[in-house]
Amino acid sequence: MNAPVKSFDGITVSVQPPVARLNLRIAPADLAAASAAFGLPLPGKIGQGAAKGDHAAWCLGPDEWLLHAAEADQAAITAAFAKARATTPHSLTVISDREITIAIVGPRAQELLSVGCPLDLARMAPGTAKRTLFDSAQVVLIRDADDGFRIEVWRSFFPHVSELLDIATRELAAGL
């Protein structure tokens, strides 16, 4: 009776496969060099996302971007940025193993997230991302669609966030 419910009609919560995940810090004036190295025009507005194939990027702050790519591309990406460093100072940090992605998809996904996230999620547009909190854990929240989100949470906070999502999913499934 207490078997974990990871999905019901309203929501599916699932851990995503690993990605190449990188944190980029670069002066906005130099963004073109980073876009060239990454092979994707990086968004200039805070919160905005961009994607091409399996490369994706979100602007999290005035000089900070979150980059995603296929795991197999990680070495090529870090090499391209290493080359760019000769002319363009920046910091590119591989954080692939630092975080785990939880996808939350379905008509009640936004409602589920509101259990732990203090933001007014109705105002979060698809294609955007924010650094925020889920309960007391810092997370990056990505909105892919009206009914699709991803939470990126540090490995050490994952059990806490995952368990809260499980409990909330069961509560919603039970009609609470």
Partner 1 sequence: MGYEVNVPARHGRALWEKLMQAGKPLGITPYGTETMHVLRAEKGYIIIGQDTDGTVTPEDAGIGWAIGKAKPDFVGKRSLSRPDIVAKGRKQLIGLLTDDPKAVLVEGAQIVTDPKQAKPMKMIGHVTSSYWSEALGRSIAMAVVEGGFDRMGATLHIPTADGGAQAAKVTGTVFYDPEGDRLKVE
Residues that bind partner 1 (CB under 8 A): 18, 96-98, 155
Distances (CA, A) of 25 to 30, 98, 155: 10, 17, 22
Closest CA to 14 of 123, 170, 174, 162: 162
Q: Which is nearer to partner 1, 59 or 66 (CB)?
A: 66
CB atoms within 10 A of CB 104: 22
Give start and end residues of each alpha helix (H) in 21-106.
Answer: 31-38, 74-84
Min CB(92)–partner 1 separation in Å: 16
What does the alpha-carbon distance between residue 163 and residue 124 come to, in Å, rounded to a whole number? 24
Q: Which is nearer to partner 1, 162 or 169 (CB)?
A: 162
Min CB(99)–partner 1 separation in Å: 10
Q: Which is nearer to partner 1, 59 or 151 (CB)?
A: 151
